[in-house]
Structure 1
């Protein structure tokens, strides 16, 4: 791709080019809304490119995917969208390939496993924008009160620690958020720790595999049925509520991402982190999550979009965003810079997990439907009268149907 220089593509015909970007909000209040990040970035870019105008609209994560879908369905696609999924739009032929947008150095700087996850049928359409991994958080004060010296390494140790925490009066020994907000994340973490995942090595759904059934059977029998997951049923516990309870000092252990660190620190909670426990030892891999940038072909402006996105992925901008929202950089050079920065040393456990982390099967056009089904149903797999195998078999049927386009 040939990127633009100087004043941008609009200079040739004297017309100002306006690009519309719809982006997700990573802030939790107006004061730290992502709108401020984009306003600052766009102001700097437009100063150097006076013939290009960037119009950024920020929506909450509750609304962003729906907003973009409605725009596309109405024939009014934005030039760029920074959202959670891309495969449906790619499969429908609506997106530019990454090769047609970004300069080679920028493309080559993406972390390999993130870049690969942005492909549909071996062509890249999704550009990773922000990443995170998950680790086990534990409350040091509650651990000390329960006589626990270190984080659990195995499921058996986690269950024993949860028993000790309950005996010491902890309200929620282990928080298991399988409510509809982000159940697909908690689910995948446990599936990975049990040696499997949503898909097998060739990308075929395996939700009802023996390993996965064994994982959820263990969760139900050893944690939920024994009352070790707190007063709220996992099917009704959302991640945000679990995080809030941890910051109130009510939770002994839970899986969390980097933003939980600042939340806990702000509330004075002393916590530790560790790799996720597995069936026999530490989990073979952690869950990695990335959100996506994509560019729609409807309005043209291929070169202008590519030039702007090259700027978006400059180290200074990637690092500014990552630091503002306690997220992990998606490029190699920014990741190295963050790893070497003593001010972000607390992110080291998450950075360490990222190269080997496994991501959602985001390149499958069926994933959005499967993810929605997991959010809706997986919590019932650990309810009092449930049979985990039956729930997982039902989800597998949904996944197979989604793959066929039923």
Structure 2
């Protein structure tokens, strides 16, 4: 699933994606010296109705855990993705932090010294089971605080009927993508390629194109490289070869949100766009046939695709380190991770569950996303400056592909603000 897992898989879009709260200050569950502890967990809802609410998943997990661990109770509050990050923030501000929060971002809490380190909580086996790109994205200054909970990658979706009618094959390079888009436009397709650089999720589309051009938000040592030559060339190409040639539809990319692009694809109005697993359900529900391929790169398949994760974190305030760690080891068992992933059509965050899903569903549509996860690159969510950078990208990146846009200037402006924010911390 900021923008996280699929914003998130229906309730996940919402991102997976991929957490109203009645949480209260965690404390001892029993009176006197019984030693009983009640852990408070606030979690995001990945369902899209009461029938498949995440509350049902957590109730089952808690029931199994409490049966094996007398003396430890777990109280779970599940909230909408629209509310959960804000509500956890308010709880922490009031001095009423939950023991655990499964939400969209962890870096600010880590920077404030409010979180346990992962290795203070988890068994060695559990911590080692996280997929490497996800574990690394959970680090602040090389120490892991964020534990990945749900993951997603992106693929290029294409409308198979439109492609068949135009006698096209899915693109593997930018030039092929442009050629396909031109052919679709010639046949009257409303939006040959949807390029959502609007405020909803511009950072995602931006990163996908940066990666396909050999760049990214950061360099190999984790420093911001937003205004790199590769990134400037990528957005110049988008401006001149896609937007400038009228291949992205009547709405300016800077005014198109991802939700609108997905809805247009589900209506059959879009030839191609970058998407996550939520779009599979949306399109299928509307009867739109689609195919999916890895993102095209400059001269062939992109070296990496974008990955997104939602996070679990443990607050130190209530001092329940041992009990919290025991619960997390249970949560991250192969059985539980796999059950959650299968229920919501999202990707497992552990090697053991990923291997099991690949064996069971590797040939399915979801398996195509799973295949991209081990080499995916995530937002630099370990930087507390990322929230500001993300906001700047949402505000400005669309300007880089306008008719008279200057990609280098736009990217440099975002880079300078990012560097200033980093230096101020």
TM-score of the pair, normalised by structure 2: 0.89
Q: Judging changes above 3 Å, is the alpha-carbon distance between structure 1 residues 344 and 81 closer, same or farther for their aligned structure 2 residues?
A: farther
Classify the secondary structure of the residue corresponding to 1:260.
Answer: helix
Please point out which of 287, 305, 308 is paired with 1:268.
Answer: 287
Please point out which of 320, 327, 330 is paired with 1:311.
Answer: 330
Classify the secondary structure of the residue corresponding to 2:77.
Answer: strand
> 2:311, 2:193 → 1: CA distance?
31
Classify the secondary structure of the residue corresponding to 1:358.
Answer: coil
Q: Judging changes above 3 Å, is the alpha-carbon distance between structure 1 residues 128 and 10 closer, same or farther for their aligned structure 2 residues?
A: farther
Q: CA contact under 8 A between 1:139 and 1:251: conserved in structure 2?
A: yes
1:374 equivalent in alignment to 2:393: yes
Partner residue in 1 for 2:153: 133
> 1:52, 1:22 → 2: CA distance?
17
Q: CA contact under 8 A between 2:29 and 2:73: conserved in structure 1?
A: no
Partner residue in 1 for 2:60: 40
Q: CA contact under 8 A between 1:137 and 1:271: conserved in structure 2?
A: yes
Q: 1:160-199 counterparts in 2 under 5 A?
A: 160-199=179-218
RMSD of aligned alpha carbons: 2.0
- What's the CA shift for 1:10? 7.2
Q: CA contact under 8 A between 1:276 and 1:286: conserved in structure 2?
A: yes
Classify the secondary structure of the residue corresponding to 2:273.
Answer: strand
Partner residue in 2 for 1:99: 119
Q: Tell me the matched-pair count.
A: 398
Structure 1: tracts of 5 or more residues without a match = 1-7
1:216 equivalent in alignment to 2:216: no
Structure 2: tracts of 5 or more residues without a match = 1-27
Q: Deviations over 1:241-272 (max 9, x none)?
A: 21122122111101111222222222222111
> 1:375, 1:315 → 2: CA distance?
37
Q: Deviations over 1:55-106 (max 9, x none)?
A: 2222332332222222212211111111222122112111001111111211
Q: CA contact under 8 A between 2:362 and 2:368: conserved in structure 1?
A: no
Of stretches 73-82 and 93-102 in structure 1, the one that deviates more from structure 2 is 73-82
> 2:273, 2:157 → 1: CA distance?
6
Q: CA contact under 8 A between 2:29 and 2:38: conserved in structure 1?
A: no
> 1:158, 1:11 → 2: CA distance?
66
Partner residue in 1 for 2:19: none
> 2:275, 2:90 → 1: CA distance?
32
> 1:392, 1:350 → 2: CA distance?
29
> 2:141, 2:307 → 1: CA distance?
21
Q: CA contact under 8 A between 1:181 and 1:239: conserved in structure 2?
A: yes
- What's the CA shift for 1:27? 2.4
Please point out which of 34, 41, 46 is paired with 1:26.
Answer: 46
> 2:409, 2:102 → 1: CA distance?
36
> 1:20, 1:134 → 2: CA distance?
33
- What's the CA shift for 1:169? 1.8
Q: CA contact under 8 A between 2:211 and 2:305: conserved in structure 1?
A: yes
Q: Judging changes above 3 Å, is the alpha-carbon distance between structure 1 residues 25 and 236 closer, same or farther for their aligned structure 2 residues?
A: farther
1:298 equivalent in alignment to 2:298: no
